[in-house]
């Protein structure tokens, strides 16, 4: 439903922005560190009230300048799945990355139905048929931008309560992102895989960010990986970006962490419980150094009880149904403390 909401707003407001921009020479596009787009100039204020010429110009300037570090922002406009990023502007060209639904990119050039883009560590070409650009992209981005907590130190303690005497839920390495909830005195309340917790404000930075593309390197497999493992991981990645639903097992309409794992493995004839703690006992325990694509990685709460599971996909990455905010996503396998690794596929 979110997709259709964005599309409707974009269509309405774009017309208003065109009118605004027509009032004078084109405005210079600027990068910004998280300025909101049209916070006081939504559809109602543009079309239901009367403004002066100067006010319309100001609304247009706001939309031009608010791009979260992007000069010419683009947003992947796909119903589901990912937008393929190719090495050259052709559907026959090698794929170099994937832009998940609603992720952002810098548009370098437009040509014959293709856009030359950069997104995260990916540079290549995407079809403009599936890309919001210009005012459409900025209005979409305004709805899609996320407030995140960026970890600035190794082994950051994530605690159950906002004090140093509280139990440590997990530890998070430098460079990881946590979901932001709210700012407290000296502490930041975060969500990690749907569980609320606290981190010291001294060791993190709160930023606004848009999702970016996934490199093909992040999706590669090591040597000696069996066909069934490759097929299982490829199958799991089809559902990247789909929703998280507690208690769910649908790969398209919504699943929780263990429901996602259950349904992926069911496709390959493996029956698992719908509970992460039970799944941790339904295979052979292995060390993290022995992980292969298709193995399971488990995480626990502050009492040591396993409460989350992910599928290892190779390259130090896992795919998992994380939370209602992020849905099914790819993370570093050690984005939080790993407590158990299990091999279910015996090949």
**Of 20, 105, 275, 320, catalytic:** 320
Give the span between the Cα atoms of 117 and 6, in whole angstroms.
22
Q: In the numeric block, which tokens belong to residue 156? A: 């950051």
* 12 DSSP assignment: H
Residue 308 a catalytic site member:
yes
**Of 20, 257, 275, 341, catalytic:** 257
Q: Which residues of 1-25 are buried (b: 16+ CB within 10 A; e: fewer)?
A: eeeeebeebbeebbebbeebbeeee
* 29 DSSP assignment: P
Q: Give the rounded distance of the alpha carbon of 77 from its chain centre.
A: 14
- β-bridge partners, 284: 343
Q: In the numeric block, which tokens belong to residue 321? A: 């149904």
CA distances for 334 relative to 189, 328, 337, angstroms: 21, 17, 6
Q: Give the rounded distance of the alpha carbon of 22 from its chain centre.
A: 35
**Of 20, 105, 275, 308, catalytic:** 308
* CB half-sphere exposure, 242, CA atoms < 13 A: 22
Residue 274 a catalytic site member:
no
Residue 105 a catalytic site member:
no
Q: Give the rounded distance of the alpha carbon of 31 from its chain centre.
A: 21
Give the span between the Cα atoms of 345 and 294, in whole angstroms.
7
Q: At what angle do helices 227-237 and 257-266 cross, to 10 degrees?
A: 130
Q: At what angle do helices 2-21 and 53-65 cross, to 10 degrees?
A: 130
What phi and psi values does residue 215 have, to the nearest 5 degrees?
A: -75, 155
CA distances for 18 relative to 39, 61, 105, 175, 269, angstroms: 18, 12, 22, 39, 55
Q: Give the rounded distance of the alpha carbon of 319 from its chain centre.
A: 11
Catalytic positions are 257, 308, 320
């Amino acid at each position: 439903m979110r997709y259709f909401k964005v599309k409707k707003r974009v269509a309405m407001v774009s017309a208003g922005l065109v009118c605004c921009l027509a009032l004078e020479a084109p405005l210079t596009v600027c990068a910004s560190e998280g300025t909101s787009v049209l916070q006081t100039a939504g559809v109602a204020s543009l079309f239901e009230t009367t403004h002066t010429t100067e006010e319309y110009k100001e609304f247009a300037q706001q939309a031009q300048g608010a791009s979260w570090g992007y000069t010419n922002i683009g947003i992947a406009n796909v119903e589901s799945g990912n937008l393929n990023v190719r090495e050259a502007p052709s559907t026959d060209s090698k794929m170099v990355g994937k832009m998940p639904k609603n992720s952002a990119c810098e548009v370098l050039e437009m040509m014959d139905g293709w856009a030359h883009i950069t997104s995260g560590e990916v540079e290549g070409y995407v079809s403009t048929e599936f890309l919001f650009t210009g005012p459409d992209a900025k209005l979409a981005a305004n709805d899609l931008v996320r407030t995140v907590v960026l970890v600035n130190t190794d082994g950051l303690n994530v605690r159950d309560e906002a004090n140093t005497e509280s139990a440590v839920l997990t530890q998070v390495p430098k460079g990881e992102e946590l979901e932001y909830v709210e700012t407290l005195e000296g502490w930041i309340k975060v969500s990690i895989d749907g569980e609320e917790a606290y981190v010291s404000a001294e060791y993190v930075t709160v930023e606004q960010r848009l999702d970016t593309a996934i490199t093909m390197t992040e999706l590669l497999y090591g040597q000696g990986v069996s066909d069934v493992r490759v097929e299982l991981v490829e199958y799991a990645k089809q559902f990247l970006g789909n929703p998280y639903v507690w208690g769910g097992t649908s790969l398209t309409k919504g699943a929780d962490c263990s429901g996602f794992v259950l349904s992926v493995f069911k496709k390959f004839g493996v029956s698992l419980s719908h509970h992460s703690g039970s799944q941790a006992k339904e295979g052979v325990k292995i060390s993290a150094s022995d992980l292969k694509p298709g193995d399971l990685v488990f995480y626990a709460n502050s009492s040591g009880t396993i409460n989350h599971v992910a599928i290892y996909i190779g390259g130090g990455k896992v795919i998992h149904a994380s939370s209602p905010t992020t849905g099914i996503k790819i993370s570093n396998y050690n984005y939080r403390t790993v407590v158990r690794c299990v091999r279910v596929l015996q090949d």
